[in-house]
């Protein structure tokens, strides 16, 4: 593979990680009472997203919606069957309880995502969009994802449903 392609892949990974990191920093700045610093972090995170999307587009990894859903399903499946089970073994062996909880929560949520993408693929294969709904709700602690109204209690981490955040 060419050095340029490897560089594009590395740049995509770096820009993607910077986006997520800066959004976490923005949340912390908000909590600490620094709204303008938080705004700066969110603005730079958005710019990093532009960079990441440009790199991904040049790599040819943005395809038809059906192909993108299939790629997303494959990624979620890998996390469910290989990645998180291996990470859980390491955390258990090292008795790293916080990491173990984080990995277990992520594993359960990735299972939800895989189901959502399967439903999307089936709709696309029937040449339909997903049915309209009330949006998605995300648990801010574990990431549990729900279509429509949030549950009374998070099925993954037990957080109250009123803490869920609406997305989309």
DSSP string, the chain: --HHHHHHHHHHHHHHHHHHHHHHHHHHHHHTT-HHHHHHHHHHHHHHHHHHHHHHHHTT----HHHHHHHHHHHHHHIIIIIHHHHHHHHHHTT-HHHHHHHHHHHHHHHHHHHHHHHHHHHHHTT-PPPP-S-EEE-TTT--EEESSPPSB-TTT--BGGG-EEE-
For residue 156, is pLDDT > 90? Answer: yes
Token pair, residue 100, equals 């173990």
Question: pLDDT tens digits for 29-79?
Answer: 999 999 999 999 999 999 999 999 999 999 999 999 999 999 999 999 999
Sign of the four-CA dihedral 24, 27, 33, 37: positive
The residues that bridge with 138 in the sheet, in sequence order, are: 145, 165
- CA-CA distance, 48 to 95, in Å (whole number)? 35
Tokens 């998605």 identify what position? 136
Q: pTM for the full model? A: 0.87
Over 90: is that where the pLDDT of 168 sits?
no
68-117, pLDDT tens digit by residue?
A: 999 999 999 999 999 999 999 999 999 999 999 999 999 999 999 999 99
């Amino acid at each position: 593979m060419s050095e340029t392609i490897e560089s594009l892949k590395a740049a995509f990974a770096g820009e993607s990680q910077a986006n997520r990191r800066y959004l976490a920093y923005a949340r912390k700045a908000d909590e600490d009472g620094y709204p303008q610093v938080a705004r700066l972090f969110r603005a730079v995170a958005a710019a990093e997203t532009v960079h990441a999307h440009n790199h991904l587009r040049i790599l040819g990894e943005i395809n038809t919606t059906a192909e993108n859903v299939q790629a997303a399903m494959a990624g979620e499946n890998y996390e469910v069957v290989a990645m998180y089970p291996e990470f859980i073994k390491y955390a258990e062996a090292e008795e790293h309880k916080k990491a173990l909880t984080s990995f277990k929560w992520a594993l359960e949520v990735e299972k939800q995502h895989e189901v959502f993408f399967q439903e999307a693929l089936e709709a696309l294969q029937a040449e339909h969009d997903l049915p309209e709904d009330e949006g998605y709700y995300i648990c801010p602690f574990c990431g549990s994802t729900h279509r429509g109204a949030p549950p009374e209690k998070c099925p993954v981490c037990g957080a109250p449903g009123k803490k869920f955040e609406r997305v989309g």
